[in-house]
Amino acid sequence: MSTRRDILIGLGGTLGAAALGVRLFPGEAMAAERACTAGTVTRRQTEGPYFKPNTPARRNIRESATRGSLLVVTGRVLDAQCRPISGAVIDFWQTGDTGGYDTRGFQYRGHQFTDADGGYELLTIRPAQYSEGGVFRTPHIHAKLQGAGTDMLNTQLYFPDAEATNRIDRIFDPSLLVSFEGSRDGARLAHFDFVLARGRRIGAEEWPSPRASPG
């Protein structure tokens, strides 16, 4: 499955972006392209205290009264041999634009399954930085993933234009930076490919199981 970046390169950068209705931000610092390397999997990070099972199945985790900067994150889920994993489950959760997690309901929470090409799309907003109990966190999105025959992965995604706050977040990992790809319909576009290690399912029964095929 070709990514938006592949299309833009093929069309000649900015000219191709204009043809697709994508606006590139002047001077935008793009995270380096990370081609999948066989045997190199996405790094694990703490799940943290705010994961909730039984989230709604949805790609759009924005709320009807959503405020903040619109964001769309796309990418693929691959195995350690760089092959797409269809039917992998991804659970996303994050803060809103003011910081703090919804612990009573499911605001800015949802799970989805990858398509036949291992693809996913998350419609959300840019999460806020926050400080809690003396611990500072840079803007980030939590992700919990598993495919049929893979280990479960807990990780977090970060933003390349948040350098000042990334530097003071004690668990920030630059290998987990998304790549920005311009904008569409008022939303910032970001990209990240997850690579999962081979393994067996070990997880809570209430968490959705990966599917043998997308549905």
Query: In CATH, what number is assigned to the domain containing residue 18?
Result: 2.60.130.10
> Domain span at residue 71?
4-196
In a domain, 207, yes or no: no
In a domain, 205, yes or no: no
Rounded-to-integer distance, Cα 42 and Cα 62, Å: 26
Residue 34 is predicted with a pLDDT of: 63
Q: How many domains does the chain have?
A: 1
Residue 182 is predicted with a pLDDT of: 94
Rounded-to-integer distance, Cα 147 and Cα 87, Å: 7
Whole-structure pTM value: 0.80
- Specify burial of residue 58 (Cβ count, 10 A radius: 0-12, 13-18, 19+): middle
In a domain, 142, yes or no: yes
In a domain, 43, yes or no: yes
Which residue bears the tokens 């950068």? 13
Residue 65 one-letter amino acid:
A
In a domain, 185, yes or no: yes
Contact call for residues 145 and 157 (beta carbons, < 8 A):
no
CA distances from 27 to 139, 180, 207 (A): 21, 12, 41
In a domain, 210, yes or no: no
Residues of the chain with pLDDT below 50 are 1-33, 204-205, 212-215
In a domain, 160, yes or no: yes
In a domain, 77, yes or no: yes
